[in-house]
Amino acid sequence: MIDLLTPGDVYSHIMMMRNHENGPICVVEGKSDYGALVEHLDEPVVKLIVANGRQNVQGAMQIVAISELAGVFAVIDSDLDAFRGVVNEIPAVFYSEMHDLEADIFLLPRIADRIIHNYADSDRLKSHLGELGAIRPSKHVVQMASVLGLVRYISVANRIGLNLSEIPYNKVLSKDKLSLDYKSLARIILGKSKKCTINYDQILNLITICDEFDHISEVLCRGHDLCGLTAACLRSWWGANVPTDTIERTLRSALNCGELLKLNVRAQVAEWAEAAGHKVWDCDAA
């Protein structure tokens, strides 16, 4: 796979591909998106390009629009745009409904629960959830990921400078209930945030307030947080030592044709393809 470093690199690769192929070209952010979509696109007619980053995709697609190059589309993550109501103005760029494509898949009905039940020790899972009066394990994973997402959003919106990347999820779980350990999380975030504008007590207060919201939007859930917290719950509570990347790969593999049809981004791409006279998706019903 070619390393593309700039929007210009991506556009040049699109042009090189267009000189040899007449079919649709799909541009995605990263290898994980490639892994999720490659089996569902109508290959070899549709060609996939990994642009190595959201800005590379957006920049390249702006050049595509200016040059009026037909038959090129992109699927990228919304990040926080969906929550902020930012409108996409770049033609043929289609965004995930949630924070990212992995979150779109994780939040499909029952997918995450099937993955958890497949890996977990059934007795430990039933015992742990029974003690908490819980039915669906994924519901609690989503709640924890939503808190991280809301803290991240508030930090970005207010320029607080909190670093929530690469959180060691197994170290931020409460030992006695299915939730986050506020104090451990606050200490870890503070240690990672070299340029933050608030202190430990203020971070702790922010996390506590965020976790008290009754309805935090699932749009804020980052796919990596959802998978990482799932892996941490399996290791800490549910009797299975499963790495985060295994959960992520399993999640992408769980996206069959039936599940793909439920994704909003699939419908958007299908509508674009029909108007452009292309067949993009390999699924018969798509």
Q: For the stretch 83-122, what's the b/e string if a residue is b when 16 or more beta carbons lie within 10 angstroms of its beta carbon? A: beeeeeebebbbbbbbbbbbbbbbbbeebbeebbeebbee
DSSP string for 46-62: SEEEE-SSHHHHHHHHH
Structure tokens at 247: 């959960």
Q: Report the pLDDT value the prediction gives residue 145, as an integer from 0 to 100.
A: 95
Using one digit for the tens of pLDDT, what is the confidence trace for 113-141?
Answer: 999 999 999 999 988 887 766 678 998 89
Amino acid at 170: N
Q: Report the pLDDT value the prediction gives residue 2, as an integer from 0 to 100.
A: 60
| Rg, Å, the chain Cα set | 20
Handedness of CA 237, 240, 245, 247 (dihedral sign): negative
Percent of the chain surpassing pLDDT 70: 95
Using one digit for the tens of pLDDT, what is the confidence trace for 85-116?
Answer: 777 789 999 999 999 999 999 999 999 999 99
